[in-house]
Chains A and B, each alone.
Chain A
Amino acid sequence: QITLKESGPTLVKPTQTLTLTCTFSGFSLSTSGVGVGWIRQPPGKALEWLALIYWNDDKRYSPSLKSRLTITKDTSKNQVVLTMTNMDPVDTATYYCSHIPNSYVYYDYWGQGTLVTVSS
């Protein structure tokens, strides 16, 4: 059974760096084709893809946020970490991590999400 769970701060101040960790079970990020993605959703708004990382350490970023994002994996710990620099109130959102079952990037399992509020 595949599960994912996001963890990190619920409140960050403007200009700070956000670090979120996705801890997963039920699959290995060393299996060919597998990946983990991050998606966010501001309150009452649509989903927005942020970044993803594949089993072979190939990384992709949203063009509009690329300069602020870094995604890494720790296969031994079954974790993927997303950092976002220079946080702004418009970055207030629920952040989800999700499982990519093969090299085609759709998401078949999702974490419960974590709400991050950016406020001074």
Chain B
Amino acid sequence: DIQMTQSPSTLSASVGDRVTITCRASQSISSWLAWYQQKPGKAPKLLIYKASSLESGVPSRFSGSGSGTEFTLTISSLQPDDFATYYCQQYNSQFSFGQGTKLEIK
């Protein structure tokens, strides 16, 4: 099984900050990685697929990069609506998720 490890588990930041979340795969997954945003009591929302493709309707301040085993999600300028938990998910083999990164207001 491919294990997905996100870091950090919790991130404190302020509105306007640039933040980066990292996701590492236990083996190469090429670019088969998606990122989701989840708010309390809500279903996850797709942000990025194929490592760097922005889902339709998602603000351009979100971007993804990486390939192989290391990936990043970057929010260029945090907005109040961005405070949430973020998950990566690989779809190279089976379809495992990372453990999540909670983005908190500093």
Contacts and interface: CB of A to CB of B under 8 A. Distances in A.
Contacts of A98: 43
Interface of A: 37, 39, 46-49, 52, 60, 62-63, 96, 98, 104-108, 110-113
A49 B1 contact: no
A96 B87 contact: no
A104 B94 contact: no
User: What bracket does the count of chain B residues touching chain A fall in?
Assistant: 20 to 34
Q: Which of B50, B91, B95 has the most CB of A within 10 A?
A: B95
A interface secondary structure, majority: loop
Interface of B: 1, 32, 34, 36, 38, 43-46, 49-50, 55, 87, 89, 91, 94-100
Given A63-B1, A104-B32, A110-B44, A49 B49 contact: no
Given A106-B34, A106-B46, 10 more contacts: A46-B97, A47-B36, A47-B87, A49-B94, A49-B96, A49-B97, A60-B94, A107-B34, A107-B36, A108-B55
A104 B44 contact: no
A43 B50 CA distance: 28
Given A106-B46, A106-B49, A110-B44, A46 B91 contact: no
Contacts of B95: 37, 49, 52, 60, 105
